[in-house]
Structure 1
Amino acid sequence: MTSPMTRRGRADRSGGPPVRIRRATARDAKRLTSLVRTSRAYEGPFAPMVAGYRVGPDYIDAHEVHVAAGEDGRVLGFYALVLSPPELDLMFVADAAQGRGVGRLLVGHMTERARAAGASAVRVVSHPPAEGFYLGMGARRVGTVRANPPAVMWDRPELEFPIAL
């Protein structure tokens, strides 16, 4: 069921369609960029942070970027894990897929990849509204990253996922 490159699982307990987690490819770049730029989580005062943001093929090649895809191949979410030092750089779930367990599957896959790489913890500088989700997934708060205007106008929670080796 699990390999270093793919993982299959159900995104929710209601028996919904299976979700496959796979390594992102350069061909996914436009879809991942669109997912970031259209996320409702970044509307209003948070919009400047993702305005013009791009997930390019070079970024996908340089980091552990994995996609959660539905049976039809539609991208439901993705994460990007930087390994040196270990940090969850990006994690997005499509607005229509939120609340269905896709984020939980992505976090589980991310922690498996971090463990396989020998990481003892993974840092997350969280979007403030996402902090509760990460805490619910087992992260712990370790600090605050101060605002850095003009792109980031608000303080952000600094979290850490402990990785059992």
Structure 2
Amino acid sequence: MTSATIIRPARPDEAGVLTDLVLRSKAYWGYSEEFMESCRAELTVRPEDVVAKRTTVATTDDGRIVGVAMFTGEPPHGELDGLFVAPEAIGKGYGSRLFHHVADTARAAGHPCLELTADPNAEPFYEALGAVRIGTEPSGSIPGRVLNRYSYRL
């Protein structure tokens, strides 16, 4: 990541590009095609959700979108509703920059904490940022799958 990276609001007309990024990011962890198909509806970014979920993107110097984060809720409950980084950009700082942007936005809006449900592969990332496990939640896509919930104090 370079200093010229831009964090900006996503546009509804970018929903297709964002959905592609989200699905590629999820598949990066080696999930089967069947698993990915089960998650497709839940992971699809719809134009009407872009504004409603306060969707933010990270771009490279040339404007290519390499990360996306969604934030929902009103104080006191703020939710990181998704954070995904393009496979070719994982480990380059885009995810943490997006996370901190959402945290700053939530803090400024009066939220005391930011909660999230984490994919098992993303748990080390959130824990390294200081999020603390607070419970579990059933997957919205895979029956019988349980995901860990985290809270990040603002």
TM-score range with shorter-chain normalisation? 0.7 to 0.9
Indicate the residue corresponding to 1:21 in structure 2. 7
- Helix, strand or coil for the counterpart of 1:41? coil
Indicate the residue corresponding to 1:99 in structure 2. 91
RMSD of aligned Cα (Å):
1.9
- Helix, strand or coil for the counterpart of 2:79? strand
By relative contact order (CA 8 Å, sep 6+), the higher-ranking structure is: 2
Runs of 4+ displaced beyond 4 Å = none
- Helix, strand or coil for the counterpart of 2:133? strand
Instruction: Give the deviation of 1:147 after TM superposition.
Output: 4.7
Indicate the residue corresponding to 1:62 in structure 2. 52
| In structure 2, distance between residues paired with 1:46 and 1:157 | 18
Q: Among residues 39, 59, 80, which one is paired with 1:50 in the alignment?
A: 39
Instruction: Give the deviation of 1:77 after TM superposition.
Output: 0.3
More helix by share: 2
Indicate the residue corresponding to 1:41 in structure 2. 29
5 Å-filtered alignment, 1:75-94, equals: 75-84=65-74, 85-94=77-86
| In structure 2, distance between residues paired with 1:118 and 1:49 | 35
* 1:58 partner letter: E
* 2:85 partner letter: V
Q: Which runs of 5+ in 1 are unaligned?
A: 1-10
| In structure 2, distance between residues paired with 1:36 and 1:100 | 17
* 2:40 partner letter: A
| In structure 2, distance between residues paired with 1:77 and 1:152 | 28
With normalisation by structure 2, the TM-score equals: 0.87
| Number of aligned residues | 148
